[in-house]
């Protein structure tokens, strides 16, 4: 008798803890995070934002040169979803020629820089983040945070944008600029951002951090681990399929998961460009219409 009572008592008291630790949510990722990430490709992302979210407020778009020598742009935007009670920071990924160039560059001896919270990260990513953060994103972040107490903070990006999203979320968490259990980091086709120490910092700071990987996406495997000890952070969500509605995924709660995409060497670039059946770049032309069927 006593034993049964004890067991049911414990199950009851565990409920708030189980619901406090949010699990990966395919619906939220497919219809909110992914469209919001792709929206950064649109020259006027506010069109996408209003097509994805029910009650939204667009804040601003930012564009700065990532690297003076390469002539590419690091671009992102901020917005607020009042229906989801979330502040949104989204970063644009690389275009196809940039991806090809970056894969080539990643195999060379790219410079690294120390990260404020610990570890080393690719200088190219860190410079891009710092420049865009200083170009108004930081000020807007504070404005949105102060005007919307209790809201979550959603940070997302694809490709190069995924690397910047990782640095943004980790910087904000490290500097305690936002309540940590209200930060959601969800990235797509994220390259390795830094070394093992950086990965450990991310893992210790962010309880809700998911790297979504589409099947054989090559970009998720650069720079290679052997180069300078580049290392992913947790947790990988791997879709070994076409990411259709109802397709399954595998979650790997380790930094580098041989049970996830790391177990494969037959990689390709097309899987990097399409997530959840949408070509990233198409968000620039269709204004994300229909990307979130829950928006009506």
Nearer to ligand NAG, 148 or 197 (CB): 148
Q: Tell me which of 8, 27, 44, 268 binds ligand NAG, using CB under 6 A.
A: 27
Min. distance of Cβ 235 from ligand NAG in angstroms? 16
Task: Give the chain's length.
Answer: 296
User: Is 25 among the residues that bind ligand NAG (CB under 6 A)?
Assistant: yes
Integer angstrom CA distances of residue 159 from 178, 193, 243: 25, 11, 17
**Would you count residue 28 as binding ligand NAG (CB under 6 A)?**
yes
Piece of 9-17, 21-29, 130-138, 275-283 that binds ligand NAG (CB under 6 A): 21-29
Residue 184 Cβ, how far from ligand NAG at the closest point, in Å?
Answer: 11
Give which of 107, 104, 111, 129 is closest to 223, Cα–Cα. 107
Comparison of 26 and 203: residue with beta carbon closer to ligand NAG: 26
Q: Which is nearer to ligand NAG, 84 or 281 (CB)?
A: 84
In the complex with ligand NAG, the residue whose CB is nearer, 25 or 148, is: 25
**Least distance from ligand NAG to the Cβ atom of residue 258, Å:** 28
Provide, rounded to whole angstroms, the least separation between the CB of residue 52 and ligand NAG: 12
What is the arrangement of strands in the sheet containing 112-114, beginning at the earlier edge strand? 112-114, 120-122, 194-195, 230-231
Between 27 and 55, CB nearer to ligand NAG: 27
260 in Cβ contact with 214 (< 8 Å): no
Our finding on whether 83 is near ligand NAG (CB under 6 A) is no
Min CB(181)–ligand NAG separation in Å: 15
Query: In the complex, what is the shortest distance from the CB of residue 236 to ligand NAG, in angstroms, rounded to a whole number?
Result: 19
Q: Can residue 277 be called a binding residue for ligand NAG (CB under 6 A)?
A: no
Residue with Cβ nearer ligand NAG (81 or 130): 81
Return the H-helix or E-strand segment holding 194: strand 194-195
Distances from the Cα of 285 to the Cα of 39, 45, 58, 188, angstroms? 10, 11, 19, 20
Query: For residues 79 and 154, what is the distance between their CA atoms, to the nearest angstrom?
Result: 10
Judged by CB under 6 A, the number of residues near ligand NAG is: 3
- Distance CA(286)–CA(296), nearest Å, equals 16
Strand order in the sheet with 209-214: 56-67, 72-81, 86-91, 152-158, 183-188, 209-214, 236-239, 250-252
Which residues are CB-neighbours of 277 under 8 A, at least 6 positions away?
242, 243, 244
- Using CB under 6 A, list all residues that contact ligand NAG: 25, 27-28
């Amino acid at each position: 008798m006593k034993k049964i009572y004890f067991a049911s008592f414990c199950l009851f008291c565990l409920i708030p803890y189980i619901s406090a630790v949010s699990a990966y949510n395919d619906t939220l990722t497919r219809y909110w995070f992914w469209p919001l990430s792709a929206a950064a490709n649109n020259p006027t992302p506010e069109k996408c934002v209003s097509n994805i979210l029910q009650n939204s407020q667009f804040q601003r778009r930012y564009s700065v040169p990532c690297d003076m020598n390469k002539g590419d742009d690091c671009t992102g935007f901020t917005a607020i979803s009042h229906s989801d009670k979330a502040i949104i920071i989204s970063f644009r990924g690389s275009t196809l020629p940039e991806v090809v160039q970056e894969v080539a560059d990643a195999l060379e001896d790219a410079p690294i820089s120390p990260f404020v919270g610990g570890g080393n990260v690719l200088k190219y990513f860190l410079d891009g983040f710092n420049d865009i953060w200083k170009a108004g994103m930081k000020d807007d972040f504070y404005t949105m945070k102060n005007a919307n107490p209790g809201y979550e903070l959603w940070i997302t990006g694809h490709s190069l944008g995924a690397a910047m999203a990782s640095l943004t979320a980790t910087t904000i968490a490290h500097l305690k600029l936002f309540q940590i259990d209200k930060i959601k980091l969800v990235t797509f086709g994220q390259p390795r951002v830094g070394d093992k120490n950086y990965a450990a910092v991310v893992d210790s700071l962010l309880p809700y951090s998911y790297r979504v990987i589409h099947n054989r996406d090559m970009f998720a495997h650069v720079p290679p681990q052997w180069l300078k000890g580049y290392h992913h952070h947790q947790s990988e969500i791997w879709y070994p399929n076409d990411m259709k509605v109802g397709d399954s995924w595998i979650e790997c709660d380790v930094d580098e998961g041989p049970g996830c995409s790391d177990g494969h060497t037959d990689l390709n670039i097309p899987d990097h460009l399409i997530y959840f059946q949408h070509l990233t770049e198409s968000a620039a032309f269709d204004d994300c219409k229909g990307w979130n069927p829950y928006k009506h």
